[in-house]
Amino acid sequence: MTLQELAQQHCTPQKGAHRRIEGEALHTCLRGLRGWIEQDKHLSKDFQFTDYAQTVAFVNQVAALAAAEDHHPDIMFGANRVRVVFTTHSVRGISINDLICAARIEAMRDAA
């Protein structure tokens, strides 16, 4: 699935290990998500900014996206950096919802 195809989708409830995306299927999806990595059943990416105002603006955009999709990442940030980490607790790993949100963040950054 391409970045554009993922970014056009919306999150839906996911339950059960059969909804987990892993192995080659996950690696295929990650090829289109610039800089996103899988680590310990989490999907994450670090972002760099030139100043604190840009950092906070990005955090607020990600928070608004998460609220709209009802799929909430861990967001850690400092003066000029942000780490966004997604996982789907109900599948105990990465689901399509994590990939959708990552793609939507990338599309949001491309549009800026």
SS3 sequence of the chain:
CCHHHHHCCCCCCCCCHHHCCCHHHHHHHHCCCCCCEEECCEEEEEEECCCHHHHHHHHHHHHHHHHHHCCCCEEEECCCEEEEEECEHHHCECCHHHHHHHHHHHHHHHHC
Type of residue found at 52: Y
Residue 103 is predicted with a pLDDT of: 96
Rounded Cα gap, residues 91 and 48, in angstroms: 30
Q: What is the CATH number of the domain that holds 35?
A: 3.30.1360.20
Q: What is the pLDDT of residues 58-98, one digit of tens each?
A: 999 999 999 999 999 999 999 999 999 999 999 999 999 99
Residue 67 is predicted with a pLDDT of: 97
Phi, psi of 62 (to 5 degrees): -65, -40
Q: Quote the tokens at residue 57.
A: 């603006």
Residue 17 is predicted with a pLDDT of: 85
**Whole-model pTM?**
0.94
Q: What's the structural domain count of the chain?
A: 1
User: What residue numbers bound the domain in which 15 lies?
Assistant: 3-111
